[in-house]
């Protein structure tokens, strides 16, 4: 394994403050004495066959075995099991670097392992270990700090949130004079939550969602208090205690407003956190109220005839299946139904659906910031080739992380493609002439 | 002298070894099940029989999973290897005749024709050597292979090699003795090695199948 430690103050300073007692405690808790059964089972079952290699975009791009899924387990968990608390500082920093920046937790490899060994789970455990000993990349740790202080990912203050929403409402009323973004409305059918970056730098998405909601005549609301942000970098840092707080305030806000269901914006990791990881951490088998992703919500509106095709989208499009909503929730066909209705010139990328290659930004990798941009872009040449083969002009990716990741890949490999959210396409092409109250 | 040790190995020793083998496996499986109750309750809470079976079946059907189609030769040889090493020890006529000397079986035990046993043993050896070479040649496999992985595969192949030669009368009593000894040694260590994947693999596959089917609404093959 040839890896250089990145210029990341979080890792470089983190290892200087190492406490061996903490390391021992963390190893006991996560990998040995109190380890979860799954971790023990996976360690005992893996027969070291290397058949997971072709599942990972990092391996497929570099063809270097040290990037294959099980190699990452070998260089992290197995190393910790072998060396225990005596593992040297440099190795600890590299362990963190592998777990945070060379694995997107996309879970594609568990579909390629003959035994279904969940390597993403194991990498998440390594991240939890790194969190417990205090060696984490600075950028993603900062988003976790933001979560802890403000209950959102981007240091958005309470008044700034309300301001952003009302600003988008005002803007959108120029287009649809009857439009409202109802804040703090009780007993609405839909509690709409977004991720921190939407009010921060993608506010047009709130505008577009508002237009779709209003044209479709949905009885909806957004909260004016913390709890509006459904995102969860704490989950990817390994800070599960904080993850629990985030999910709790999100659910409680929806329940305080007595809403019937939560609809989440087009974000993948937040969806994974809300319906799966975070819910489980709070001890619920199922979320306390129904939660659906925007893709499913748009599909249901479309099927109910509440959003209609006004004009078809003129360009050749392809669809990128985000891991957290496709491999994580099977929304691939719903997404395709909507995409195909609006975009007659649709072409599949291969492999697709559950087998799609990851964007290499998810799993918190893009949130680890500039020191690792090259790692994820060069580690996903295979995605660039996959996109290029489609010859499409536009790639639709209903996930924020995928957007960031694909944008970098498209620029780096000179692909000349546009990236759109599903909401972008619907907003642009839907029939907005029908006023639902008329 | 060989003869008396050989008789001991086949008679008494085999009885103890085999009992130990069964008990050790049951203990190992019980350990994982009980451990999950206490340390990982999520596993049993989210276990779903329907989707566990769906996953197991789809991964048993040859070349159904995408990875099998990506690596057809490796998977073909693995299938062959596993079929051979499971069928031959259980259904080889010589083994059944020995068993019948000690136990009255209430039914006519199914047996492989000797020629088929020979062919399957030969195939087990060839495919085993292929898997061994794959570990050396294919970079991802080489990267994760340790000396233990090579040793274990060799240990599995030794009883087949010695058996194959002994049936042909090569090596005489000594080889037969080696055959029984290596097989019993294998049974003794098997529950504590990666060969447990034959049982534990079902566990991990079932759990992943449950998660993929019931929670994630997606295929896992």
Residue spans per domain, chain B: 2-215
What pLDDT shows up at residue A111? 94
**Nearest CA to A395 among A308, A297, A311, A320?**
A320
Query: Helix or strand or coil: residue A83?
Result: helix
Mean of per-residue pLDDT scores for chain A: 94
* Percent helix, percent strand, percent coil in chain A, to nearest 5: 55, 5, 35
Write out chain A residues lying below 8 Å of B211, CB-based: 118
Contact A380, A360 (CB under 8 A): yes
pLDDT reading at B102 higher than 80: yes
Hey, CA dihedral for A215, A220, A222, A224, is it positive or negative? Answer: positive
ipTM of the complex: 0.93
Task: Give the largest Cα separation in chain A, rounded.
Answer: 72
What are the backbone dihedrals phi and psi of residue A395, each rounded to the nearest 5 degrees, phi first? -115, 125
> Rounded to an integer, what distance in angstroms lies between the CA atom of residue A272 and that of residue A405?
18
Beta-carbon separation of A40 and B32 below 8 A: yes
**Nearest CA to A363 among A292, A277, A422?**
A277
Query: Helix or strand or coil: residue B105?
Result: coil
Write out chain A residues lying below 8 Å of B143, CB-based: 50, 65-66, 68, 71, 74
> Rounded to an integer, what distance in angstroms lies between the CA atom of residue A148 and that of residue A141?
10
> Rounded to an integer, what distance in angstroms lies between the CA atom of residue A382 and that of residue A281?
35
What percent of chain A lies above the pLDDT cut of 90?
A: 94
pLDDT reading at A100 higher than 70: yes
Hey, CA dihedral for A125, A356, A44, B40, is it positive or negative? Answer: positive
Q: What's the token pair of residue A418? A: 């546009």
> Rounded to an integer, what distance in angstroms lies between the CA atom of residue A330 and that of residue A262?
18
What are the backbone dihedrals phi and psi of residue A353, each rounded to the nearest 5 degrees, phi first? 50, -130
Name the residue of chain A whose CA is nearest to B59's CA: A114
A116 at interface of B, judged by CB pairs closer than 8 A: yes
Write out chain B residues lying below 8 Å of A28, CB-based: none
- Which of B66, B140, B211 is opposite residue A355, by nearest beta carbon? B66
**Averaged over A121-149, what is the pLDDT?**
96
Q: Tell me the domains of chain A and their CATH numbers.
A: 9-136 (1.10.1060), 143-303 (3.40.50), 317-429 (3.40.50)
Class (C level, CATH) for B2-215: mainly alpha
pLDDT reading at A407 higher than 60: yes
- Which of A38, A45, A65 is opposite residue B201, by nearest beta carbon? A45
- Which of B39, B55, B218 is opposite residue A330, by nearest beta carbon? B218
> Rounded to an integer, what distance in angstroms lies between the CA atom of residue A270 and that of residue A252?
16
Which H/E stretch holds residue A318?
strand A317-319
Contact map slice: A 261-290 vs B, CB within 8 A: 276, 280, 285
**Nearest CA to A80 among A95, A62, A61?**
A95
- Which of A55, A71, A354 is opposite residue B144, by nearest beta carbon? A71
What pLDDT shows up at residue B5? 77
**Averaged over A296-310, what is the pLDDT?**
95
Name the residue of chain B whose CA is nearest to A271's CA: B216
Hey, CA dihedral for B91, B95, B98, B99, is it positive or negative? Answer: negative
**Averaged over A193-216, what is the pLDDT?**
94
What pLDDT shows up at residue B106? 85
Adjacency order of strands within the sheet including A190-193? A220-221, A190-193, A261-264, A291-293
């Amino acid at each position: 394994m040839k890896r250089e430690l990145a210029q990341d103050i979080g890792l470089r300073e983190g290892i200087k403050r190492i406490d061996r007692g903490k390391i021992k405690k963390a190893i006991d808790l996560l990998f040995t004495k109190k380890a979860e059964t799954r971790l023990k089972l996976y360690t005992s079952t893996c027969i070291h066959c290397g058949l997971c290699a072709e599942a990972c975009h990092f391996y497929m791009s570099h063809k270097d075995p040290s990037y294959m899924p099980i190699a990452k387990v070998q260089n992290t968990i197995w190393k910790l099991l072998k060396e225990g608390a005596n593992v040297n500082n440099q190795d600890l920093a590299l362990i963190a670097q592998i777990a945070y920046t060379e694995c997107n937790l996309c879970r594609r490899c568990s579909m390629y392992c003959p035994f279904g060994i969940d390597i993403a789970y194991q990498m998440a455990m390594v991240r939890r270990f790194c969190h417990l000993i205090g060696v984490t990349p600075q950028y993603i740790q900062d988003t976790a700090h933001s979560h802890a202080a403000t209950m959102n990912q981007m240091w958005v203050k309470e008044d700034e949130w309300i301001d952003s929403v009302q600003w988008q409402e005002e803007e959108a009323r120029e287009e649809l004079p009857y439009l409202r973004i109802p804040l703090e409305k009780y007993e609405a059918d839909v509690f709409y939550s977004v991720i921190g970056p939407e009010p921060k730098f993608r506010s047009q998405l709130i505008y577009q969602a508002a237009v779709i909601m209003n044209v479709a005549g949905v009885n909806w609301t957004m909260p004016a208090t913390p709890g509006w942000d459904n995102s969860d970098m704490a989950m990817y840092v390994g800070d599960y205690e904080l993850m629990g707080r985030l999910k709790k305030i999100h659910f409680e806000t929806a329940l305080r407003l007595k809403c019937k269901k939560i609809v989440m914006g087009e974000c993948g990791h937040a969806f994974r956190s809300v319906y799966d990881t975070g819910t489980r951490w709070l001890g619920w088998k199922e979320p306390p109220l129904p939660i659906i992703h925007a893709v499913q919500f748009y599909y249901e509106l479309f099927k109910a005839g509440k959003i209609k095709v006004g004009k078809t989208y003129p360009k050749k499009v392809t669809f990128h299946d985000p891991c957290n909503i496709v491999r994580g929730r099977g929304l691939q066909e719903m997404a395709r139904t909507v995409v195909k209705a609006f975009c007659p010139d649709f072409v599949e990328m291969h492999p697709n659906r559950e087998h799609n290659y990851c964007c290499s930004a998810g799993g918190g990798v893009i949130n680890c910031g500039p020191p690792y941009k090259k790692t994820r872009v060069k580690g996903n040449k295979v995605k660039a080739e996959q996109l290029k083969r489609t010859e499409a002009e536009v790639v639709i990716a209903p996930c924020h992380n995928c957007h960031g990741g694909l944008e970098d890949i498209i620029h780096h490999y000179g692909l000349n493609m546009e990236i759109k959210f599903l909401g972008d396409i619907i907003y642009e092409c839907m029939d907005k002439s029908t006023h639902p109250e008329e | 002298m060989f003869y008396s040790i050989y008789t001991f190995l086949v008679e008494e020793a085999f009885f103890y070894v085999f009992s130990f083998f069964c008990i050790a496996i049951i203990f190992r499986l019980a350990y994982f099940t009980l451990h999950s109750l206490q340390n990982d309750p999520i596993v049993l809470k989210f276990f779903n029989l329907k989707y566990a079976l769906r996953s197991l079946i789809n991964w048993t059907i040859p070349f159904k999973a995408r990875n099998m189609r990506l690596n057809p030769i490796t998977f073909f040889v693995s299938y062959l290897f596993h079929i051979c090493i499971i069928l031959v020890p259980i259904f080889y006529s010589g083994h059944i005749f020995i068993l019948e000397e000690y136990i009255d079986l209430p039914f006519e035990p199914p047996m492989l024709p000797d020629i088929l046993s020979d062919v399957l043993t030969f195939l087990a050896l060839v495919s085993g050597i292929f898997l061994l070479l794959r570990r050396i040649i294919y970079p991802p496999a080489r990267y994760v292979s340790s000396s233990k992985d090579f040793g274990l595969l060799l240990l599995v192949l030794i009883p087949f090699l010695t058996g194959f030669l002994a049936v042909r009368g090569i090596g005489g009593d000594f080889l037969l003795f080696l055959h029984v000894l290596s097989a019993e040694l294998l049974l003794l260590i098997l529950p504590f090695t990666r060969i447990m994947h034959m049982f534990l693999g079902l566990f991990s596959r079932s759990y992943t199948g449950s998660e993929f089917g019931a929670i994630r609404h997606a295929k896992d093959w």
